[in-house]
Structure 1
Amino acid sequence: MSDRGSHEDGLNAQKYHGQGMESNSNNFDSGQQQQEQELATKMLQIQSKRFYLDVKQNRRGRFIKVAEIGADGRRSQVFLALSTAAEFRDHLSSFSDYYSSLGPPNPDSVPEDGKLKSEMMLKDNRRYYLDLKENSRGRFLRVRVSQTIPRGGQRTQVAIPAQGMIEFRDALTDLLEDFGTDDGGFKGELPEGRLLRVDNKIFYFDIGQNHRGIYMRVSECLMSFDPQVKNKFRTAITVPEKCWGNFRDILAEYCDKMGRAAAGTTPAAPTTPNPPAHQDMVSD
């Protein structure tokens, strides 16, 4: 069961929130802070790191925030929908079994990139990359999140020491038993994203879903033909599904008006008003 009634965890949570962790929640809000209610929290001490698993609720629904605080005070965090947290919990079991099958660390047998096992989870407009890695400090599971809809923002990640994966899994399991794994919303398959190329621009049309419902995000990318210059993504717009029809009608109206305007731009032959009958025409 969760630690909602635990005085010790309550004190830990108070210390944690007093260290300036942000309350905004990536795709669970619109970039502006919202009033959030903390429903439960768990604190794990794994080696020199502390991890906080917070079940939160805002006007869009419930989610889990995973925050990592290192020995040097550095903080990082990732956000998981409840269904994503359930899938992550299952992967933790698989990674832990694989970790248990490994022998002692052997620097000569480690892949060049340090990855021993990898998995990927896809949820709405996010990809979660799970990599069991090994370096000079030991073995750990890196959880890295990136947007499938480009925003130009930084990726978020946490790193869980391999020895603590089971403890982390069990904490997640307790929270999910209390709050379930249902995200609600649309249950069918969302349409695939599309793109439109215009001159040196690409417009991406991506369909996503969050606790507020289904939406379309239109992102503009300015392409560079210089290989040394990175392509630049500009701010995207988000259109809720409930107004797609109106959005379409407005575009159709503009297309119709511009089409009719373009058809009428061919200049007509100039005409000279007929002079009065009594006035002679004067030629140059």
Structure 2
Amino acid sequence: MGGDTELLSDVLKVQNKIFYLDLKENGRGKYIKIAEKGKYRPKSSVVVPLSGLHSFIQLFDFYMNTDGPGPQSRDVVVESKVFNFSCGENDRGRYLRIFESGGGYPAGGSSLMVPAGWANANIRAFRESFEKIANWLNQTGLPPVEMSSGLALTSKPDTVTLDVSKEGGPVLSVGSKHFFFDARMNDRGRYLKIKEVSGNMKTLLVVPAHAVAKFQEAISLAMMAQPRPDPEGPGGLQA
């Protein structure tokens, strides 16, 4: 991001990788950029709005105490972004994957692969780096940051939560799916934009404002009808 100011920087050397963690600021606010430079994959990075700082610390705490690759996938919604945390294992050992989607990505997203290390020592190092940022912010006497509440540490796929994005629109989270509702306007008039983010997939739906009431009515009618078997499967949703 051009013209951004670097406030604090930390470097973590993890096995054959180097991670750069930078607290930066621009006209839209403060954020944490985590850049990964490794031998086996091209350099990649994720950008975390500062409101996600505490949620990331909670997630690093969770994965520090998680053993084995398993299906321990967790999401955190930060403003207009979704960060998916998941464990995995390859021939180089166990790792923690952080996948960023939404935000400015037109499709897909960006990911980091953090080797877990012995007794999750590398994950602990990330947690300590984020804690260092939090302590520095407290010591500088800056105004408190409104922290994200979009953290889902439960493993139930049908958990439903309703939050608010930085832009003021509602965010509906259903398990690993997240729906962003945003009222927009262009030269053709007002409309409702509904964006679904699930893992590395993103779907966009646009409803003209004058059709929203009928759209709601259509949903009600569809839900009152007798469900029909779906030959294509449930598409990842569970009732």
Question: Do they fold alike, i.e. is TM over 0.5?
Answer: yes
> Residue 65 in 1 paired to residue 33 in 2?
yes
Q: Structure 1's 66 and 151: CA in aligned 2 closer, same or farther, altered over 3 A?
A: closer
Q: Which residue of 2 aligns with 1:91?
A: 59
Larger Rg: 1
> Residue 130 in 1 paired to residue 85 in 2?
yes
Which protein, 1 or 2, shows the higher relative CO under an 8 Å CA cutoff with sep ≥ 6?
A: 2
- Alignment match of 2:101 (pick from 146, 150, 159): 146
- Alignment match of 2:170 (pick from 168, 171, 192): 192
What's the offset of the Cα at 1:95?
A: 0.7
- Extract unaligned runs of 5+ from structure 1: 1-23, 25-33, 103-113, 195-203, 209-215, 222-230, 237-247, 252-284
Look up the equivalent residue of 1:120 and give its one-letter code.
Answer: D
DSSP 3-state at the match of 2:84: strand
Superposed CA RMSD? 3.8
What's the offset of the Cα at 1:75?
A: 0.7
Aligned residues of 1:140 and 1:159 also touching (Cα < 8 A) = yes
- Alignment match of 1:42 (pick from 4, 10, 14): 10
Look up the equivalent residue of 1:130 and give its one-letter code.
Answer: F
Q: Which residue of 2 aligns with 1:79?
A: 47
Higher fraction of strand? 2
What's the offset of the Cα at 1:183?
A: 3.6
Aligned residues of 2:183 and 2:192 also touching (Cα < 8 A) = no
What's the offset of the Cα at 1:40?
A: 0.8
Higher fraction of helix? 1
Aligned residues: 166
Identity %: 23
Q: Structure 1's 121 and 207: CA in aligned 2 closer, same or farther, altered over 3 A?
A: farther
Q: Which residue of 1 aligns with 2:198?
A: none
Task: Write the distance in 2 (CA, Å) between the matches of 1:144 and 1:117.
Answer: 14
Task: Write the distance in 2 (CA, Å) between the matches of 1:77 and 1:178.
Answer: 22
Task: Write the distance in 2 (CA, Å) between the matches of 1:98 and 1:185.
Answer: 24
Q: Which residue of 1 aligns with 2:133?
A: 175
Q: Structure 1's 97 and 129: CA in aligned 2 closer, same or farther, altered over 3 A?
A: same
Look up the equivalent residue of 1:158 and give its one-letter code.
Answer: L
Q: Which residue of 2 aligns with 1:260?
A: none
Q: Structure 1's 205 and 173: CA in aligned 2 closer, same or farther, altered over 3 A?
A: closer
Following TM superposition, where does structure 1 have runs of at least 4 consecutive aligned residues deviating by more than 2 angstroms?
Answer: 149-154, 180-194, 216-221, 231-234
Task: Write the distance in 2 (CA, Å) between the matches of 1:79 and 1:69.
Answer: 15
What's the offset of the Cα at 1:85?
A: 2.2
What's the offset of the Cα at 1:83?
A: 2.7
Aligned residues of 2:50 and 2:147 also touching (Cα < 8 A) = no
